[in-house]
A = this chain, B = another copy of it.
């Protein structure tokens, strides 16, 4: 079932089994109209089965984000701020938090990370001036992508982390989902860092506490479904409608092979209005990050300091 590609742990879990996976704990609740799911992957065997590293995966989900409901935006950015704050190590007043926007600014469904960085309040250069204030040190970078710069994003992040010595790294990335209804409606927050192959841009190197020397929190939102996944699911729906509860795994694999050898394997499925969805989401995620990283400032003060 690994051929069903998703960056969301909750979808890996749903996919693996409608019931339970040993070594995985799942909780669901609701807050202010937002559905929250927390998946803990506790054991290595479970991690292997779900093809996700061990750790905690929190998902915030509401279809009202796609309808651009202002209340839903506020609710999600508020919840995100709280949950990020819970994961942050204590602030020692010196080392900055480093926000990293992964992905390619010039490819719309891969541009969520750079979009968030553009809206993050960077303060590290102001800390001398404001030392006695409530301001906390933050820097923010969009390392670009390999094809554009000739330097892998993770290499850039590692170099900067050596110079800046951040207390925590907050990565933002565009994700792939299995279910297209999660595009623009679901935000995933994890404490596991980034693994090779994850994200719309398909990172080749990990970004974890081991590689950068600081805890790595990652925030992402699905912007695409892979066309191969859609085709596979379309077949599943058909089989189910034929009264055939078990999809023919061999037929699926053959189709996969055919699709992957054609152009389709590389195609993405995305809503027509993905440009607006990504811009919206960048605003919501940046609001959550700014609030979590600057607990001493009001939203209005944060907004006034941006330029």
Q: Is A39 positioned at the interface, with any CB of B under 8 Å from its CB?
A: no
| Per-position binary interface string of chain A over residues 241-254, scored 1 when its CB falls under 8 Å from any chain B CB and 0 otherwise | 11000000001001
Q: Compute how far the CA of A230 lies from the CA of B263 in the bound complex, rounded to whole angstroms.
A: 12
Rounded to whole Å, the gap between the CB of A176 and the closest CB of chain B is: 11
- Contact: B267 with A304, CB < 8 Å? no
| Per-position binary interface string of chain A over residues 155-171, scored 1 when its CB falls under 8 Å from any chain B CB and 0 otherwise | 11011101110000000
- Contact: B150 with A124, CB < 8 Å? yes
Rounded to whole Å, the gap between the CB of A93 and the closest CB of chain B is: 16
Q: Compute how far the CA of A255 lies from the CA of B263 in the bound complex, rounded to whole angstroms.
A: 23
Contact of A122 among B138, B147, B225, B258 (CB under 8 A): B147
Q: Is A44 positioned at the interface, with any CB of B under 8 Å from its CB?
A: no
> Which residues of the other chain, B, contact A225 by a CB distance below 8 angstroms?
267
Total contacting residues, chain A, CB less than 8 A: 78
Asked, given contacts A70-B304, A238-B235, whether A269 binds B159 with beta carbons under 8 Å apart, the answer is: no
- Contact: A141 with B149, CB < 8 Å? yes
Copies assembled:
4
Q: Is A49 positioned at the interface, with any CB of B under 8 Å from its CB?
A: no
Rounded to whole Å, the gap between the CB of A234 and the closest CB of chain B is: 4
- Contact: B237 with A258, CB < 8 Å? yes
| Per-position binary interface string of chain A over residues 211-247, scored 1 when its CB falls under 8 Å from any chain B CB and 0 otherwise | 0000000000000110100111011011001100000
- Contact: B303 with A68, CB < 8 Å? yes
Closest to A67 in B: B304
> Which residues of the other chain, B, contact A156 by a CB distance below 8 angstroms?
141, 160
Pairs A–B under 8 Å by Cβ, sample size 10: A67-B304, A108-B108, A138-B150, A139-B149, A180-B267, A230-B230, A230-B231, A237-B259, A241-B258, A267-B271
